[in-house]
A = this chain, B = another copy of it.
Amino acid sequence: MVLLFARYVSMSETTTQPGDATSAAWSRLIRVPQVLLAQTEAALRDEGLPPLGWYDALVALRRAGEAGIRPFELQRELGLEQYNISRLLDRMVAKGAVQRRRCDADARGQVVRITAEGRAMLNRMLPVYRGAVRRHFADRLGPGDAAALAQILARLEGG
């Protein structure tokens, strides 16, 4: 992962304050999650597990159960572009984590279903993922930090 510093953006045209809180917060907000993500991905890779992107997809697929799910529903749920779902599913099929089958109700479409291997993969990913999150994130926060962080970040969502 290319780690952006997103270093110092002065927020004012006139009064330049390199060390102001907004710049520091912005820079860290860009950089810290990149590092956390890289650490988490590395933990998964070290265990021979697929990247984190598969996690969300596998969780959604497991929730869909035996009935399966249409790719476009998965797409909306995961917030991915259509071609990314198409190719993610290609890769997951290739690894045996999901099955594609034709959709009886819509001949254009298909239904994807998690396989036993997919469930097993998710079960192997979870502790590794959880361990990385705990080690690199949860354990480093002070009491109240998680709630405060969640609250502040909520203000930045949806817009």
Interface residues in chain A, defined as those with a beta carbon under 8 Å from any beta carbon in chain B: 2-11, 20-22, 24-26, 28-37, 52-53, 55-56, 59, 78-81, 84, 126, 129-130, 133-134, 136-138, 140-142, 145-150, 152-157, 159
Contact = CB atoms under 8 A, between A and B. Distances in A.
A149 B154 CA distance: 12
Counting from the closest, the 6 A-B pairs by CB-CB distance are A28-B153, A25-B150, A21-B146, A24-B150, A21-B147, A25-B149
A81 B84 CA distance: 26
A137 B134 CA distance: 27
Contact of A2 (B10, B25, B80): B80
Nearest to A127: B13
B149 A152 contact: yes
B150 A52 contact: no
B79 A3 contact: yes
Contacts of A9: 126, 129-130, 133
Contact of A28 (B81, B145, B157): B157
